[in-house]
């Protein structure tokens, strides 16, 4: 198939190889042109040489290109898969976590929500907007897939900047349910239709259906799940906060304690500080392990000791970008459980100018959200608070407004004062000034 797929951020040791793993399992996409793009030429060359070796092993499944020039990469693109970060991710993440807490913030992680999530958005959204503006100018009919966090805010900024662009945001967080649901319901995951709704990293499981019979499995899940998760507590996933919110709000938050707590003032009451800092350390160690594995494979390639079968000969990453691309090209009319798209009356009692996470159907025209209607009032109330912060955060970036930036920090439940917001903004703007827009 003559399709052009551009991977932006392909030099990343985690993003590039995982996406390529999925590509090499696709028969439908064989014959496509795969363009590897990254601004880090050294990392890009390493991935390119590995992919060249893989392509040779796999009888040249793809036409492989690489370039550090974005406009060249985008020319004629049909699909763009983008995953970028700005600066040293973990150094900046720790600053996003530590500095707000230094001034009294109750935030528990600082990646996608809380004042840390807002600062993260201030750094990463401007370069992503430059990318999508180029996409809109060079290949306006292309389908853009974003993996960068903070997902909901990034996608909202894309929606407001290039409203006609076909795009989605993807996050693998729903994948945690692949293990737990069969244990709870005694039904294979492939026979379950999940109905999660909300915001990325802040969503709730509103429905579960057995595909073969059409049976509503939520009553059974709600009966068994509380005790099941008490017995299977995991500090980085489903623990005290998840169980408490499930009990208080009546619907299961499928995103795990570390993500859920970013948006809740009471998140700190049910999480341990050490668990959150350990999670950042855990994520960094995972990234280092992946990088070392890539470099070991690269060394083997240079020493002419590369694996005969290659490293992409079997397995899948668990990400959904390639299956969605396949479904669009084949008009498969498939169902995807959790995709980030604009709220087009999918959830009636949330702002329509919002990007939500919800199920979609996929066909030749792209994706279409599965309408839910009105969320329970208690769930909607939680989400509307975060929606307001996202609105101000994105507007601060688009207008380069210092006043809006500080207001977005101040109204966050984990800040709650302009004095604290001023201190947080002042110190982080100085520490991270090379990565932040010039707020006026």
284 three-state secondary structure? helix
Burial status of residue 157 (CB atoms within 10 A of its CB: 0-12, 13-18, 19 or more): buried
- pLDDT tens per residue, range 36-76: 999 999 999 999 999 999 999 999 999 999 999 999 999 99
Question: Is the pLDDT reported for residue 247 higher than 80?
Answer: yes
d(CA 52, CA 5): 16
Closest to 414 (Cα-Cα) out of 106, 97, 58, 17: 106
| pLDDT mean over 330-354 | 96
What pLDDT, on a 0 to 100 scale, did the predictor assign at position 314?
Answer: 86
Catalytic residue among 43, 172, 180, 201: 172
221 three-state secondary structure? helix
Q: Max CA-CA distance within the chain?
A: 62
Full-model pTM: 0.97
Confidence of residue 83 (pLDDT cuts 50, 70, 90): very high
Confidence of residue 236 (pLDDT cuts 50, 70, 90): confident
Residue 304 CA from chain centroid, whole number: 37
The answer to whether the CB of 201 falls within 8 A of the CB of 113 is yes
What pLDDT, on a 0 to 100 scale, did the predictor assign at position 17?
Answer: 84
Angle between helices 321-330 and 15-23 (to 10 degrees): 40
Adjacent-strand bridge partners of 8? 37, 82
124 three-state secondary structure? helix
Confidence of residue 24 (pLDDT cuts 50, 70, 90): very high
What pLDDT, on a 0 to 100 scale, did the predictor assign at position 313?
Answer: 84
The answer to whether the CB of 36 falls within 8 A of the CB of 310 is no
The answer to whether the CB of 216 falls within 8 A of the CB of 207 is yes
| pLDDT mean over 230-235 | 93
What pLDDT, on a 0 to 100 scale, did the predictor assign at position 226?
Answer: 96
342 three-state secondary structure? strand
Confidence of residue 27 (pLDDT cuts 50, 70, 90): very high
Question: Is the pLDDT reported for residue 16 higher than 90?
Answer: no
101 three-state secondary structure? helix
d(CA 303, CA 65): 23
232 is catalytic: no
- pLDDT tens per residue, range 303-328: 999 999 998 888 888 899 999 999 99
Ramachandran angles phi, psi of 5, nearest 5°: -120, 125
- pLDDT tens per residue, range 89-122: 999 999 999 999 999 999 999 999 999 999 999 9
Q: Which two structure tokens, joined as six digits, stand for 378?
A: 């208690």
Question: Is the pLDDT reported for residue 1 higher than 80?
Answer: no
């Amino acid at each position: 198939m003559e399709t052009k797929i551009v991977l932006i951020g392909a030099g990343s040791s985690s993003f590039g190889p995982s996406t390529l793993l999925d590509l090499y399992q696709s028969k439908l996409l064989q014959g496509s042109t795969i363009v590897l793009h990254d601004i880090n030429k050294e990392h890009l060359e390493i991935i390119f040489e590995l992919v060249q070796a893989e392509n040779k092993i796999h009888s040249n499944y793809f036409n492989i290109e690489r370039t550090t020039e974005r406009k060249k990469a985008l020319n004629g693109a049909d699909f763009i898969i983008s995953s970028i970060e700005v600066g040293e991710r973990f150094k900046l993440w720790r600053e996003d976590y530590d500095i707000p807490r230094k001034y009294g913030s109750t935030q528990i992680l600082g990646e996608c929500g809380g004042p840390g999530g807002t600062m993260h958005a201030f750094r990463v959204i401007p370069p992503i907007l430059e990318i999508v503006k180029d996409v809109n100018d060079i290949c306006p009919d292309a389908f853009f897939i974003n993996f960068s966090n903070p997902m909901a805010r990034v996608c909202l900024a894309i929606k407001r900047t290039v409203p006609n662009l076909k795009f989605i945001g993807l996050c693998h967080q729903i994948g945690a349910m692949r293990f737990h649901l069969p244990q709870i319901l005694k039904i294979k995951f492939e026979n379950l239709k999940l109905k999660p709704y909300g915001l990325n990293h802040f969503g709730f499981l509103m429905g579960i259906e057995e595909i073969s019979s059409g049976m509503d499995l939520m009553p059974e899940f709600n009966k068994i799940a509380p005790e099941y998760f008490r017995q299977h507590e995991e500090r980085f996933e489903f623990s005290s906060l998840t169980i408490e919110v499930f009990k208080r709000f009546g619907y299961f938050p499928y995103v795990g304690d570390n993500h859920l707590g970013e948006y809740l003032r009471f998140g700190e009451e049910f999480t341990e500080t050490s668990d959150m800092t350990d999670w950042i350390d855990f994520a960094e160690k995972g990234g280092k392990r992946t990088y070392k594995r890539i470099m070991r494979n690269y060394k083997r390639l240079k020493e002419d000791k590369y694996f005969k079968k290659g490293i992409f000969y079997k397995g899948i990453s668990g990400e959904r970008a390639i299956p969605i691309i396949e479904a669009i090209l084949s008009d498969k009319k498939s169902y995807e459980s959790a995709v980030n798209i604009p709220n087009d009356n999918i959830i009636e009692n949330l702002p329509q100018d919002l990007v939500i996470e919800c199920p979609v159907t996929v066909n030749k025209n792209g994706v279409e959200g599965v309408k839910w209607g009105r969320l329970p009032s208690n769930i909607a109330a939680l989400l509307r608070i975060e929606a307001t912060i996202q609105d101000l955060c994105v507007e601060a970036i688009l207008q380069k407004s210092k006043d809006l930036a500080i207001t977005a920090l101040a109204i966050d439940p984990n800040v709650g004062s302009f004095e604290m917001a001023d201190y947080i903004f002042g110190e982080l703007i100085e520490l991270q000034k090379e990565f932040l827009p010039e707020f006026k």
